[in-house]
Amino acid sequence: MKRTKINALLGSQPAGQVVKAEGWVRTFRNNQFISINDGSTIQNLQAVVELNQLDETLLKRITTGACISVTGQLVASLGKGQAVELKVTELIILGDCDAEAYPLQLKNRPSLEYLREIAHLRARTNTFGAVMRVRHAMAFAIHKFFNDRGFFYIHTPVITGSDAEGAGAMFRVTTLDANNPPRDEHGHINHHEDFFGRETNLTVSGQLEGETYALALSEIYTFGPTFRAENSNTTRHLAEFWMIEPEMAFYDIHDNMQLATDLLQYLVKYALENCKDDLEFLHKRAQDEENTKPQDQRSELGLLERLRFVTENEFQKLSYTEAIEILKNSNPNKKKKFQYLIDQWGVDLQSEHERYLVEKHFKKPVILYNYPREIKAFYMRQNEDNKTVAAMDVLFPGIGEIIGGSQREERYDRLVHRIQEMNLPEKELWWYLDLRKFGSAPHSGFGLGFERLILFVTGMTNIRDVIPYPRFPGNAEF
């Protein structure tokens, strides 16, 4: 007999039909009631064994964490908490689990910090099962959103010679002998002898390569891993993370803002409609966590309210200049409660400023645009005021910036001038400049950090808990 997934069994009508379920034991009570989960849903299936049905040796092997196969009749449950249960006629142990050594005992609920140390097992907890099912749903919804709008999915390279951000915080890729690398006549490492014949690194963004395809296919998107070698140990940063980066020909900054709005509202709505059980569990979990905080540090909105907040509110659009005036005159700034005080135009906004605008001032998602050119990347379109660029950031409650993007500079002369002004290697960007020489077009794009999105949708508070195996300074386990 073939196995039926537990989510299908729980959604079916019990009529005494014979079924088979397989999964991992969550609890075993009174030598009779086995709670089984196979990961298809946060809900467990109760399997009921008649007293004296199984021999003592087999009973002892039904421990928390053991993997079992049960066959029997699906009947209406007499107990509370479930509509159906499985009346066991046959039970097979597929994989034993030493109860004493198993680190996921219910009586000792492990902390999130501890679970990061056993990341190979944490998916078996309710929290991480829920987070990963939501992560899957969001990945599927992203592809569906773009596919339904006629975008093409482009795989941009993971190994690249370009640095899209000009930040320099990159992981180098090399096959040279680290202990004895070849050197040139000046004593410098000779990268001509390396695998690719030049310096290469893991990509920080697929944007530049994505632009080349947007200027041929009109509307494309990338969705892949990106890497930053920043020595950052915050709850918002990873060394390896996933990015969604659409690039669109014939879009100006306003079209770009509208697409970002449509995407985010679509994704959050998709989660609310398709991840109900997991979101309800995560909502309660987040609520319990909030209740441990001092009153003044608690969020005004619960998880489900925050999600509806995004789907039910128009996004507030305002310029960076308008935002600076609001922040400069705000109570937290005047009373010096901001860690980074706003005293002049041109400063880079921090998460505390972004969250103030969203959560306190406008009480809705915010899109800021037209940032100072000095704090933004070389590829952003320069505005006619010669002070600002057509950049935009989408700000969310609890997160701050969730999307960053811009209209790209399509004018060859202006782009060359900016590259030279920022002392970037013009020679290495020859192919990017070619796009502006051969049939250039106005175009725009943005980047959505996938893990930032999952943080928002799940209500988790540390980005290391929304990716299967987090990579951060000092940690590359598993």
Identify the CA nearest to 394 among candidates 384, 381, 404: 404
Same domain, 238 and 91: no
CATH number at residue 379: 3.30.930.10
240 within 8 A of 227, measured Cβ to Cβ: yes
pLDDT at 168: 60
Q: What is the average pLDDT across 321-330?
A: 98
Answer yes or no: is pLDDT of 167 > 60.
no
- Cβ neighbours for 471, distance < 8 A, ≥ 6 positions apart: 238, 239, 240
Same domain, 252 and 317: yes
pLDDT at 165: 62
Q: What is the pLDDT of residues 227-253, one digit of tens each?
A: 999 888 888 889 999 999 999 999 999
Q: Is residue 302 in some structural domain?
A: yes
Same domain, 218 and 290: yes
Q: What is the average pLDDT across 356-370?
A: 95
Q: How far apart are CA 137 and CA 408, in angstroms?
A: 31
Q: How far apart are CA 217 and CA 441, in angstroms?
A: 12
Answer yes or no: is pLDDT of 297 > 80.
no
Answer yes or no: is pLDDT of 10 > 80.
yes
13 within 8 A of 77, measured Cβ to Cβ: no
Q: What is the pLDDT of residues 173-212, one digit of tens each?
A: 999 999 999 999 999 999 999 999 999 999 999 999 999 9
Q: Name the one residue in this structure whose structure tokens are 């505005």.
A: 383
Q: Is residue 180 in some structural domain?
A: no
pLDDT at 174: 95
Q: What is the pLDDT of residues 431-441, one digit of tens each?
A: 999 999 999 99
CATH number at residue 79: 2.40.50.140
- Higher-confidence position of 106 and 102: 102
Mean pLDDT of the chain: 94
Residue type, 446: F
Q: What is the average pLDDT across 397-424?
A: 95
Tell me what percent of the residues of the chain surpass a pLDDT of 70.
98
Identify the CA nearest to 444 among candidates 400, 391, 393: 391
- 299 pLDDT tier (thresholds 50, 70, 90): confident
pLDDT at 107: 67
- 109 pLDDT tier (thresholds 50, 70, 90): confident
DSSP bridge pairs for 46? 35
Q: Which structure tokens are listed for 104?
A: 């996921």
pLDDT at 254: 98
Answer yes or no: is pLDDT of 74 > 60.
yes
Domain containing residue 367: 126-169+204-465
Same domain, 318 and 411: yes
Q: Is residue 110 in some structural domain?
A: no
SS3 251: coil
- 399 pLDDT tier (thresholds 50, 70, 90): confident
pLDDT at 166: 60
- 428 pLDDT tier (thresholds 50, 70, 90): confident
Query: What's the total number of domains in the chain?
Result: 2
Same domain, 130 and 211: yes
Q: Which of 95-104, 182-191, 210-219, 286-295 has the lowest mean pLDDT?
A: 286-295
Same domain, 72 and 212: no
Exposed, middle or buried by CB within 10 Å (0-12, 13-18, 19+), for 14?
Answer: middle
Q: Is residue 441 in some structural domain?
A: yes
Identify the CA nearest to 273 among candidates 315, 223, 311: 311
Q: What is the pLDDT of residues 246-268, one digit of tens each?
A: 999 999 999 999 999 999 999 99
Query: What is the DSSP code string of 47-83?
Result: EEPPTTSS-HHHHHH--TT-EEEEEEEEEE-SSTT-S
Q: Is residue 153 in some structural domain?
A: yes
Q: How far apart are CA 412 and CA 409, in angstroms?
A: 8
Q: What is the pLDDT of residues 57-69, one digit of tens each?
A: 999 999 999 999 9
Q: Which structure tokens are listed for 358?
A: 């969203």
Q: Please indicate, yes or no, whether the overall pTM of this predicted structure exceeds 0.85.
A: yes
- The dihedral formed by the CA atoms of 112, 113, 118 and 123, expressed in degrees to the nearest 10: 20
